[in-house]
A and B are shown apart, each in its own frame.
Chain A
Amino acid sequence: EVQLVESGGGLVQPGGSLRLSCAASGFTFTSHWMHWVRQAAGKGLEWVSRIDEDGSTTNYADSVKGRFTISRDNAKNTVDLQMNSLRAEDTAVYYCARDLVAGSGSCQSWGQGTLVTVSS
């Protein structure tokens, strides 16, 4: 069974940093692109970032470019999202997702999400 488990969310002050992690199991991790997608309370889904199978290609939404960094550890089956210079508008549930078709955004498997709250 495919499982994605996010961790690392919490309350952080504006300008602060947080590192989210997603532990994957139940599938061949090295065969899939991975994404982070976020959803503010009562709002729609917003794509944040993606990383290819070996970590050599990464892409970011304009709203987080230069502040967030996605990475993966294929030995540990984890994908991380380092978030710096956090703003109130980054407050959201962050989902880790596995892509079905290389980088296309056809996210077939999702974690339960981890809540990030940016507030003073």
Chain B
Amino acid sequence: QSALTQPPSASGSPGQSVTISCTGTSSDVGGYNYVSWFQQHPGKAPKLMIYAVTKRPSGVPDRFSGSKSGNTASLTVSGLQAEDEADYYCSSYAGNRVVFGGGTKLTVL
């Protein structure tokens, strides 16, 4: 079971926007509209930031947005803030399983 492919790192300056990609196949990302994005700070449990490709749970700032095109999903963080520095993981429903991406470390310069 292959993990979804994410870039290992991404960075941006405060106030800028950064986009993180998540590439899968037609059996996961491309086949269903159930891509989620999680933020994880060191030593903490993951936090759901985006679900069902584009939806934000209550309490998540609208600076975070999600999209999908074909087999690739994307998370965009606009107006970068220092507290956005964290690891980000995508996941996708894949029928009889769930698959995660390898994670992207976002650095706020």
Known: A47-B98, A106-B36, A112-B45. A100 touches B1 (CB 8 A): no
Q: How far is the CA of A101 from the CA of B36 in the complex (A)?
A: 11
List which A49-71 residues lie within 8 A (CB) of chain B.
50, 59-63
Q: Which residue of A lies closest to B100 (CB)?
A: A45
Q: Establish whether residues B46 and A107, one from each chain, have CB atoms under 8 Å apart when the complex forms.
A: yes
Distance (whole angstroms) from the CB of B68 to the closest CB of chain A: 14
Residues on A with C-beta less than 8 A from B48 are 100, 106-108
Category for how many chain B residues contact A: 20 to 34
Category for how many chain A residues contact B: 20 to 34
Q: How far is the CA of A76 from the CA of B52 in the complex (A)?
A: 30
Residues on A with C-beta less than 8 A from B92 are 105
Q: How far is the CA of A63 from the CA of B100 in the complex (A)?
A: 14
Residues on B with C-beta less than 8 A from A35 are 98
Distance (whole angstroms) from the CB of A9 to the closest CB of chain B: 14
Residues in chain B within 8 A of chain A (CB atoms): 1, 3, 32, 34, 36, 38, 40, 45-48, 51-52, 57, 87, 89, 91-93, 96-103
In the A-B complex, the 7 residue pairs with the smallest Cβ-Cβ separation, listed nearest first, are A106-B51, A105-B98, A110-B45, A104-B34, A44-B103, A47-B98, A104-B93
